[in-house]
Amino acid sequence: MEILDASAWRCPLPLIRVKLWLKAAEAGQQLRLLLRDAGSRQDIPAYVSRMGHAIEVVADDGEMLTLMITKAP
């Protein structure tokens, strides 16, 4: 499992990095993603779900959102 701490980045950089990871990752690989940016907190889960990949909220304290993304086959 890889970890991407995108908590210091603003949209669209976190989404671009997630897209690059999805392109390079193999089916079943997982990414733990840390986000703070309000736009990314909305856009990334919507994009990942729309593309058919699994996404799970691991933690959300209102400031930091931690997601687990699993690349679909």
Overall number of domains in the chain = 1
Three-state secondary structure call for residue 45: helix
Task: Tell me: cis bond preceding 12? Omega within 30 of 0 counts.
Answer: yes
Digit-coded pLDDT (tens) for 26-65: 999 999 999 999 999 999 999 999 999 999 999 999 999 9
pTM: 0.95
Tokens of 51: 């593309």
- Per-residue 3-state assignment (H helix, E strand, C coil) for 10-21: CCCHHHHHHHHH
Q: Strand 30-35 to strand 2-5: parallel, antiparallel, or no bridges (unpaired)?
A: parallel
Find out whether 20 and 2 touch, Cβ atoms under 8 Å.
no
Q: What angle do helix axes 13-24 and 38-50 make, rounded to 10 degrees?
A: 30
Q: Which domain holds residue 16?
A: 2-70
